[in-house]
Chains A and B, each alone.
Chain A
């Protein structure tokens, strides 16, 4: 009787453990880095843009004119509140239109 009882208790514990494991899902996101083109302003772009998103958000875009990149940087500041000063915005816009603009 004691033996049967202990088997039942054991099974209950195993079932409970499996159940709670099945109830919790946990993942670890991979750390994928994308290199930006070397040039003046790269560090600022990397530091400030990375606050909210990986820089493949930049590298995947089609070539952008200075006007397009300026508008994008402005949107990040005005719409999403990116903590980027006016001076830094200028550096970032220069860098993006220089390295991710139409072929010269």
Chain B
């Protein structure tokens, strides 16, 4: 309630600013259905988590579509000095370190490499963090820190081959144009082990759904590591450095780590014995319609629909329950757009009796990875993939 009040005040303050800001296509926050919404440049109305640096969440309604539009894709920056202008005449992607030669690539140079195109889910490590129990500090995302996008760009391996990795290369570090507000704040630099970085599916993407990237999603180019959490998908990429010793930067060595246990989870409230850098995404499914809390008519056919994806392996099965998990049936899977994309699924349902129904969906991928019925826990709030429950009311026919 208190938060809602705060947001209302923000709205009033924002109304005055909106007049002033409209010329530069940035709109302050406003309240919509109890949520704080904001429209940032090149983006549509998104759920506002934080303003500076911006963290914006995609409303669930967009997940009814196979492809998430560029203007609706979530936004997540870590440090406040984010790029707000890039001139391609001067922007260069520099590659160096433990390499035969140093490269300084313009966008035209990057576009001359073979163009690789595929559809892949991008998902924040902390997506759905607000559902953790006990709750944890961090960005309080619901399910909207994800999207399914068709990416196009140059293969990272091709670029690294052009530079020529010298013997003894261990890690590859990626830096973007964002920088910290104080010298003491660690710059957002991420790294991948060399073997991972040389996988042929990793690209330096300069297009999202056939268009240049929005500034807030990493214009002019970002790393795409399909199947892995978005923490590695460094935005507004500027420097790639090949290292002959392990990368020891804060955002890999200290942050974005998960317990080194088979589930990446531990007993709530406990501390992990050992941690490793977060990597591949867990398997998930979401019911998109009917929405939780909605109502449908008794005796009328309803199509339960949703999406499912996993960390780089195709979804082989989605099962659906309409009675809280007692009975399960196979959902029909939609068009397969590759192992990195989400897949749409549907399940026909005709509830005869009025009452309260619990809808559930559970996905399994081609190597048998699935979803837990209880939320797994870790202190950072990562890897969420619990089987969700959508409560739906079935009304008397004609009511």
Chain B residues with CB below 8 A from A61, complex form: 137, 140
**By the criterion CB–CB under 8 Å, are B181 and A52 in contact?**
yes
**By the criterion CB–CB under 8 Å, are B10 and A33 in contact?**
yes
Chain A CB within 8 A of B139 CB = yes
Given contacts A37-B2, A62-B140, contact A26 B84 (CB under 8 A): yes
- Whole-angstrom distance between the alpha carbons of A101 and B267 in the complex? 23
**By the criterion CB–CB under 8 Å, are B13 and A24 in contact?**
no
- Distance in Å from the Cβ of A34 to the closest Cβ of chain B? 6
Given contacts A54-B52, A56-B49, A60-B49, contact A27 B181 (CB under 8 A): no
**By the criterion CB–CB under 8 Å, are A24 and B185 in contact?**
no
- Whole-angstrom distance between the alpha carbons of A24 and B85 in the complex? 7
Given contacts A20-B89, A32-B10, A34-B51, contact A62 B137 (CB under 8 A): yes
**Which chain A residue shows the least CB distance to B53?**
A53
**Which chain A residue shows the least CB distance to B89?**
A23
Bitwise interface map of A from 23 to 42 toward B, beta carbon under 8 Å scored 1, else 0: 11111111111111100000
Chain A residues with CB below 8 A from B51, complex form: 30, 32-34, 54, 56
**By the criterion CB–CB under 8 Å, are A32 and B84 in contact?**
no
Bitwise interface map of B from 105 to 143 toward A, beta carbon under 8 Å scored 1, else 0: 000000000000000000000000010000111011000
**By the criterion CB–CB under 8 Å, are A51 and B181 in contact?**
yes
**Which chain A residue shows the least CB distance to B49?**
A60
- Whole-angstrom distance between the alpha carbons of A61 and B135 in the complex? 9
Chain A CB within 8 A of B27 CB = yes
Chain B residues with CB below 8 A from A81, complex form: 182-185
- Whole-angstrom distance between the alpha carbons of A51 and B184 in the complex? 12
Chain A CB within 8 A of B338 CB = no
Chain A residues with CB below 8 A from B49, complex form: 56, 60
**Which chain A residue shows the least CB distance to B79?**
A52
Bitwise interface map of A from 56 to 68 toward B, beta carbon under 8 Å scored 1, else 0: 1101111010001
Chain A residues with CB below 8 A from B10, complex form: 32-35
Contact partner of A31 among B21, B25, B84, B220, CB < 8 A? B21
**By the criterion CB–CB under 8 Å, are A60 and B139 in contact?**
yes
A29-B82, A56-B50 are known; give 12 further A-B pairs, CB within 8 A.
A23-B87, A27-B84, A27-B216, A28-B24, A29-B52, A32-B38, A34-B6, A34-B7, A53-B53, A62-B130, A79-B250, A80-B186
Interface residues of B (CB under 8 A from A): 2-3, 6-7, 9-10, 13-14, 17, 21, 24-29, 38-42, 48-54, 79-80, 82, 84-89, 130, 135-137, 139-140, 181-186, 212, 215-216, 219-220, 250, 254
27 contacts across the A-B interface (CB closer than 8 A): A23-B87, A23-B88, A24-B89, A27-B25, A27-B26, A27-B85, A27-B215, A27-B216, A28-B21, A28-B24, A28-B26, A29-B26, A29-B52, A30-B21, A30-B27, A32-B38, A33-B10, A33-B14, A36-B6, A51-B181, A52-B80, A53-B52, A56-B49, A62-B135, A79-B250, A80-B186, A81-B183
Interface residues of A (CB under 8 A from B): 20, 23-37, 51-54, 56-57, 59-62, 64, 68, 72, 79-83
